[in-house]
Structures are given as structure tokens and as C-alpha cells.
Amino acid sequence: MNFITTLKGSALEGFYPEGWDFEKIEEICKLSEGELLKREAWWHKDFCPVECDSLADFEVMLGYEIAEKIEKANGKKIAFILPVGPMGMYRWTVFFLRKKCISCKNVYTFNMDEWADGEGNTLDGTDRGSFRYAMEQAFFNPLGELTVPPEQRNFATKENLPSYPEKIAALKKEGAELVLVYGIGRMCHIAFWEPTFAKEFKTDKEWKNAEYRLGAKLHPLTVEQNALTSFKSRTGLVSCRANTVGPGLFLQADYAIGGADGCFGRGMQWQGMSLRMTFKYGPTPWVTSSYIPTLPGRLFYLKELVMPLEPECN
């Protein structure tokens, strides 16, 4: 008796993306750590998973990776698509940039998503629950005089998100490198681009060209993931919709810096299956994060997430 054999006719039938092959997912979940990290034909030659022993290590290493990209730009324009989750690395990005007095006047940022209603209207940037507020408190303000100029910061509002494609294209035309910084959702989303959106597209190419979405419908598990990780379990504070960039933008990245830190402690976690699917499912619009290994870059993850996913009472 297991999930697959009891799914039909249960309350969860139709709840998960219809393109998910749970027999395949179960086989992926059974892989040993060595099998999981074995390179696949679809992985980019410069895609590199990086193991971190602790959350402290994870935050420092991810923060340094971002800071190093800014330093190596050496004053040339560089653009970042940035998440609000994970967040701990921004403190260290600030630390390394300030230690070396590296200015971000050449940096252009594009926040990948923001809570919204069905029409794409977002929270005011002063609201503690908004992604703009989080970014200003964690990254922009602590940088002080070295910070990204306000006019070069982009947030995923109803008015501004539609301008992302043109702005990013113009920067790339000028020779700017586009760096994607990301986390992997419980539903294997990147930004808030849910796997459930796949059914709306006739071809993979059409899906890959989708640049953004206003008021995107979030999967219930995405809502609950955020309730647990960002709102201390208070579901009522989480929006069921968000504005988000799509694969037409984040798959343009010249380099990708990822983070998987979804551990609660005491053996509890939420991200192990999602990380395994990212590595091993194979590129498909039904698993958004499955395209991550096709990009050059480094994916930092907590060691606990690649350990065997076995039952444990806590």
C-alpha cells in the first residue's frame, strides 16, 4: 500500500500536475547519492552541483558566488534575476562586496516574482510581506553607498514586469551577462512558474518562449511551502497568486546560481524529492526545474537533501 496504489479515487487525484510520472519519481527517490549525482547527457558541461555540510556553509558559499560574479564583471554591466528565497546568502554577498569596496553601480537587478492578486496588483513595497521590502532590507540597504542604483532595480509589479524582456534584451545586446539566482520550489517551480502551466502550451518551444505571467495561480503546495518557510505557518498571509518571470527569461541566463536549503531540522525536510527530480527527471515543462541542469552554473545544496529519502518518525 503506497501513494501510487491509493491515489486513484482519493482526494488527491488531479491535485498534482497531470504530466508527473510518479512511478518514475519513485525510482528517482530510490537512487543512492552516487547515482543521483552521476552526470546525465542533458546536463550542461558547466553545470556543477555543490554540496554544503551546514546551512551556515550554504549561505556563505552562495553569497560568495554572487559577490564574485559582481567582482569579475569589473565594472561592466551585469544583470541578475533574483529570488526572495533562499535569502540568507544576501548577508554574505553584502559582506564580501563591502569588504572589498566593490560598487554595484554596474549591476541591474530583476526580482523574479512578487505576491499579487488575479489582475497582477502587488503589495506596496513598504509592506513587510512584499518581496521588494525583503530585498531592500536584506540586500540593497545594507550595501550603503555601494548599492545598486534605485533606477536599476526592477520589481515584478503589474506595470514593470512586462518591461523585463525589453530591458534584459537591451542589456544583453550591450554585452551584459545575465545571471539567474534561484531556489527550487516544492512543486519544482523556478520563480513561481508552476509545472501545472505546462498543459496550456502546445509545444515545448512555446512553453520556453513564455516570458512572464501576471496574477499566476499558485499550486496549493506552493502556498503551504511559503506558509511554513516565510509566514510561520500562517496560511492566511500567503497570496494564492503571484507575478512571475517565465522560462522565456530565466532560460536566457548565461550563468545560474542555485540554492536548495529546504531542511527543518530533526530529520525533517521538504526539498529532497524536488532536488532529485531537478537532477534526474529530464527536461520537460511538467517539471520546471528539470531545465536547471541544462544551464551552466552551480547549484548549492545541503548534504541532507541528497541522503536516502526513507521514512522517519519525528
Domains of the chain: 44-306 (3.40.50.1360)
Mean pLDDT of 249-271: 96
Whether the pLDDT of residue 313 is over 80: the answer is: no
Give which of 249, 244, 263, 256 is closest to 292, Cα–Cα. 256
Residue 122 in grid coordinates: 502587488
Phi/psi at 191 (5° precision):
55, -140
Whether the pLDDT of residue 198 is over 80: the answer is: yes
Confidence of residue 1 (pLDDT cuts 50, 70, 90): confident
Whether the pLDDT of residue 220 is over 90: the answer is: yes
Q: Report pLDDT for 127.
A: 86
Whether the pLDDT of residue 126 is over 90: the answer is: no
Tens-digit pLDDT profile for residues 65-123: 999 999 999 999 999 999 998 999 999 999 999 999 999 999 999 999 999 999 999 98
Q: Can you tell me whether residue 292 is helix, strand or coil? A: helix
Q: Give the pairing type, strands 153-154 and 177-183.
A: unpaired
Tens-digit pLDDT profile for residues 5-62: 999 999 999 999 999 999 999 999 999 999 999 999 999 999 999 999 999 999 999 9
Q: Return the percentage of the chain with pLDDT > 70, whole number.
A: 100
Confidence of residue 194 (pLDDT cuts 50, 70, 90): very high
pTM score over 0.85: yes
Looking at every residue in the chain, the average pLDDT score rounds to 96
For residues 262 and 225, give the distance between their C-alpha atoms in angstroms, rounded to a whole number: 10
CA angle 82–90–137, rounded 5-degree value: 90
Mean pLDDT of 202-215: 98
